[in-house]
Structure formats: structure tokens, C-alpha cells
């Protein structure tokens, strides 16, 4: 059976990996948001343009949410590393 120190170290590593994953997801959402924005600018059909703009807005919001959660995980890690 692992010691409490080893279990805590393993948990911290998993939290680091989770934070990295969350930030990666945030960047992917931002990239998709920009693609929808670019497509909306080139779209001639108003309904398609509106859809692309809504998607871009939603993905940009997701980008911020993913990073916010990642930052909270990092903050939790820092509190327990002191």
C-alpha cells in the first residue's frame, strides 16, 4: 500500500495533468472560435453568417471557461504545495 506522501504526490501530478488538459482544451476552443469568425466574414448568406458568429461566440466563451477551470486547479495545487 502506498504511503500518504506517495498518494499525495500522485494526486498532485494528476492535478497538473488535468490543468494542462484544461488549458489545451481552452486553446482548441479559441482556435475553433477564430475559424468560425473567419468563415463568418467570408459568408454571403446572412443565416449562415449568423450561425457562424453564434458558434464563434459560444466557443470563445468555452475558451474562457476552460482556462478559468484550469486556473482554479493550478491555484488548488499551489495551495497544497506550500
Residues 6+ apart with CB under 8 A from 57: 33
Q: pLDDT per residue over 33-71, tens digit each? A: 999 999 999 988 888 999 999 999 999 999 999 999 999
Higher-confidence residue: 24 or 43?
Answer: 24
What's the confidence (pLDDT) of residue 74? 97
| CA-to-CA separations, 40 to 24, 34, 49, 55, in angstroms, rounded | 24, 10, 5, 10
Amino acid at each position: 500500500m502506498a504511503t500518504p506522501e506517495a498518494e499525495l504526490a500522485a494526486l498532485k501530478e494528476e492535478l497538473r495533468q488535468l490543468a494542462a488538459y484544461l488549458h489545451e482544451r481552452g486553446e482548441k476552443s479559441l482556435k475553433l472560435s477564430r475559424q468560425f469568425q473567419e468563415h463568418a466574414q467570408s459568408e454571403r448568406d446572412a443565416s449562415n453568417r449568423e450561425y457562424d458568429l453564434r458558434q464563434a461566440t459560444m466557443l470563445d466563451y468555452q475558451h474562457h471557461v476552460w482556462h478559468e477551470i484550469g486556473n482554479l486547479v493550478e491555484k488548488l495545487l499551489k495551495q497544497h504545495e506550500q
